[in-house]
């Protein structure tokens, strides 16, 4: 069955370190998204991609970067982790066609100490 996976599921890192969160989907979807979930804020869009070599900034992109070298993967990199980036991170994908439903990965809980 097609799926979307994220790794690691949990990570603890120190302030200032570079961290990369992986997202892999086997749906063959063109569109991929990264969100962060924080209490009182719901899910907020960090970066998104509509295809290979395409990346765009979302609502809360400062301190994050992504690259899209193939259809299946959209890794999220925290260049220099900060305590404010402690959060749960979700990756999602969609076909880009009606009804524009997004399929979500299981999430990664990141703690920056």
Binding site for other proteins (CB under 8 A): 31, 33, 35, 40-45, 48, 50, 58, 88, 90, 92, 94, 96, 98-102, 104, 106-107
User: At closest approach, how far in Å is the CB of 18 from other proteins?
Assistant: 25
User: At closest approach, how far in Å is the CB of 63 from other proteins?
Assistant: 20
Q: Which residue has the tokens 């892999």?
A: 24
Rounded distance, CA 20 to CA 90, Å? 13
- Of the candidates 4, 33, 13, 3, the one whose C-alpha atom is nearest the C-alpha of residue 87 is 13
- Cβ closest to other proteins, residue 27 vs residue 50: 50
Residue 3 pairs with which residues in a beta bridge? Answer: none
User: At closest approach, how far in Å is the CB of 21 from other proteins?
Assistant: 14
- Cβ closest to other proteins, residue 16 vs residue 106: 106
- Cβ closest to other proteins, residue 36 vs residue 81: 36
Q: Which residue has the tokens 């994220």?
A: 6
User: At closest approach, how far in Å is the CB of 101 from other proteins?
Assistant: 6
- Could you tell me the CA-to-CA distances from 94 to 50, 55, 73, 97, 108 in Å, in that order? 9, 15, 13, 8, 19
């Amino acid at each position: 069955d097609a799926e979307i996976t994220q790794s690691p599921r949990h990570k603890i890192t120190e302030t200032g370190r570079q961290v990369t969160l992986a997202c892999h989907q086997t749906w063959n979807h063109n569109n991929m998204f990264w969100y962060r979930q924080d209490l009182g804020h719901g899910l907020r869009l960090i970066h998104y991609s509509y295809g290979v070599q395409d990346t765009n900034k979302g609502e809360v992109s400062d301190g994050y970067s992504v690259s899209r070298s193939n259809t299946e993967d959209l890794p999220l990199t925290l260049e220099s982790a900060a305590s404010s980036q402690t959060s749960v991170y979700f990756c999602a994908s969609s076909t880009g066609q009606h009804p524009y439903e997004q399929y979500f990965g299981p999430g990664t809980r990141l703690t920056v100490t």
